[in-house]
Amino acid sequence: MSTQQDSSGLGPGPGGDDESFLTHSIDVVRAEQQRYRPGAVFYISTVLILVFVLWASIWPEHLGATMTTASDWSARNIGWAYLAVTTGCIVLMLYLAISRFGRVRLGEDHDRPEYSNWAWIAMICGTVMGIGLISYGAAEPMTHFMDPPHGFAEPETMQAAVTAMQFSYFNWGPNAWALFGVFGLAIAYSTHRRHNTGLVSPMLRPVLGKSMDGWLGKLVDVFTIIATLFGTTTSLGLGASQIAEGVNRLTGLPTDLFVQIIIIAGITVIFTLSALSGVARGIKWISQATMLAAAALGVYVLVVGPTSFISNLYFRSFGQFIAEFPMVALLTPNSPEDLQWMQWWTYFMMAWWLSWGAFVGIFLAKISKGRSIREFVIAVLGVPTAVFTVWFTIFGGTAINLDMFGGTSIGEQTLADTNTTFFAVLGELPLSAITSVLTVLMVALFFVSGADSNTFVLSVLSSRGSMNPTKPVLGVWGVLTGVCAIVLLIVGGLQALQQAAILSAVPFTVIVALLGVSLVKELRNDARFAGTRPVTHDEMARAIRPDARDAAAE
């Protein structure tokens, strides 16, 4: 039986041998002691980001052209890797849940969850991808309805509606959440059970060894910070566009770049102050409030909208999604037109989730202490997938129904500007002014909670993994996040934001694969399984029937 950690925090624990645990605990203590003095990772990453901002300010056309060229190259040559890695994450998550490792607790064996199930799930769904509920909830299904992916259906038909929902489920479903889950499990196990710092590099030690304690480890952490920043700025740009569109519908104010910059600047101040208040107070209450508001809006649209159409579409689409999932999960383009579609939908989505991996993983680790691996997998892989498929069907299905049977032009508006779709749907339903105001408030709160979490995670990554970063570091990352979102909007609008997410995800295809291998290696060495080993069929037979040896000999 393993001993528990002593009061000093430097004793052996459930994660492995005494010497290894001692080293890791000293790393944590050192990170806490030195959190007031940012190290090389902080300075290198901030300098690189400032160079990027300077490049965008002086040569915006050159930066835009460079990003376009690099983004096109990555889609042509390594886009398949995004699909392979995210599909592999699903397999790994399911394996961990049903295997003996599912009983392992993310923390000491006596630890119990800090948050209630409701608060925990609200933070998972609302903080991680909340803005996407509004930005893409109606726009993506409607886009695929007007222009079905891969030519799988005739545009604007019922089969096109089913295919549109199927691909929307895929882009926002288990692939994304399995990727987040692998990161989250790896970081949670590393920090809460192995007592490492909250960095990605220590979790790669089982594969890459002591190199993770030197400059290669620092390089991994710098890559993590840059990918996290650019993945989040994409969400901020989407959020600003949605807020501007909502305000335009309500007041007539323009939706131009200047308005979006003002929105980002204002929200940056709010989420930075929220981050300074801490996870428990700031993010917890914002997440619960936004999820309650989203649930109320979803139920309202389901009731006053085409309820029967939505219900039938959901079951038919979800059935097709399950039946054809293996084919869609590994589907690659077969023509230049197909490649372009993949680049701006599936490849972009998978790259976006990859760039979010560390951000979401560290945040999930922060809020999931005390949960078992099986409980974690069920909640992270299952609940958000269910929530997002229902949400996309309610709003996407309503938009499709209005165009098919109501004579509206929502589809044409979507092809011209996807930011208009959600509010166009609300405009066709009763109480549109009230629901539009609620939506703008939701986007703003999703904006704040997502950027709030991002600021916290960036601060952890640049504070030697300390889970208690200082306020000056939090402030720096809050400001840099807002500045980068503004710069990318100026350089190339939402297209530049998408390109930044795609490019920042490239190194993460390798890092995620190594994290999965490292996690399994660490779990096999967990003290819960000390003294155990695989048993052969013959050994089992001899244990059950002692005379089996004699029978085998004969």
Q: What is the DSSP string of 156-178?
A: TSHHHHHHHHHHHHHHHSHHHHH
How far apart, in whole angstroms, are the C-alpha atoms of residue 85 and residue 350?
9
The pLDDT value recorded for residue 400 is 96
Question: Nearest Cα to 190, choosing from 393, 333, 358?
Answer: 358
All residues at 6 or more sequence positions from 491 whose CB lies less than 8 Å from its CB, including other chains: 56, 60, 63, 64, 67
* Consecutive H or E run containing 94: helix 60-98
Low-confidence ranges of the chain (pLDDT < 50): 1-23, 548-549, 552
* Residue pair 123/175 in contact by the 8 Å Cβ criterion: no
How far apart, in whole angstroms, are the C-alpha atoms of residue 524 and residue 314?
40
How far apart, in whole angstroms, are the C-alpha atoms of residue 41 and residue 247?
40
All residues at 6 or more sequence positions from 470 whose CB lies less than 8 Å from its CB, including other chains: 35, 36, 459, 463
The pLDDT value recorded for residue 32 is 64
* Residue pair 504/49 in contact by the 8 Å Cβ criterion: no
Q: Report residue 380 CA to chain centroid gap.
A: 10
Assign 496 to helix, strand or coil: helix
The end-to-end CA distance of the chain, in Å, is 40
The pLDDT value recorded for residue 232 is 76
How far apart, in whole angstroms, are the C-alpha atoms of residue 469 and residue 463?
6
For CA atoms 213, 215, 217, 221, give the dihedral sign. Answer: positive
How far apart, in whole angstroms, are the C-alpha atoms of residue 378 and residue 138?
27
Single pTM value for the model: 0.83
The pLDDT value recorded for residue 5 is 35
Q: Which whole-number Å values give the CA distances from 224 to 169, 216, 243, 405, in the listed order? A: 27, 12, 29, 47
Residue 427 token pair: 């405009």
The pLDDT value recorded for residue 541 is 61
How far apart, in whole angstroms, are the C-alpha atoms of residue 131 and residue 230?
15
All residues at 6 or more sequence positions from 413 whose CB lies less than 8 Å from its CB, including other chains: 420, 421, 424
Paired with 372 in beta bridges are 105
The pLDDT value recorded for residue 405 is 93
- Count of C-beta atoms within a 10 Å radius of residue 247: 18
All residues at 6 or more sequence positions from 121 whose CB lies less than 8 Å from its CB, including other chains: 379, 383
How far apart, in whole angstroms, are the C-alpha atoms of residue 488 and residue 496?
6
* Residue pair 231/356 in contact by the 8 Å Cβ criterion: yes
* Residue pair 397/165 in contact by the 8 Å Cβ criterion: yes
- Residue ranges in 99-204 assigned as alpha helix (H): 117-135, 139-146, 158-172, 174-188
How far apart, in whole angstroms, are the C-alpha atoms of residue 420 and residue 319?
29
For residue 34, give the amino acid letter.
Answer: Q
Angle between helix 383-405 and 139-146 (nearest 10): 50
Domains and CATH numbers, the chain: 18-530 (1.20.1740)
Assign 349 to helix, strand or coil: helix
Q: DSSP for 213-269? A: GSHHHHHHHHHHHHHHHHHHHHHHHHHHHHHHHHHHHHH----SHHHHHHHHHHHHH
* Residue pair 360/128 in contact by the 8 Å Cβ criterion: yes
How far apart, in whole angstroms, are the C-alpha atoms of residue 173 and residue 170?
5
Q: Report residue 480 CA to chain centroid gap.
A: 20
Question: Nearest Cα to 166, choosing from 156, 152, 146, 181?
Answer: 152
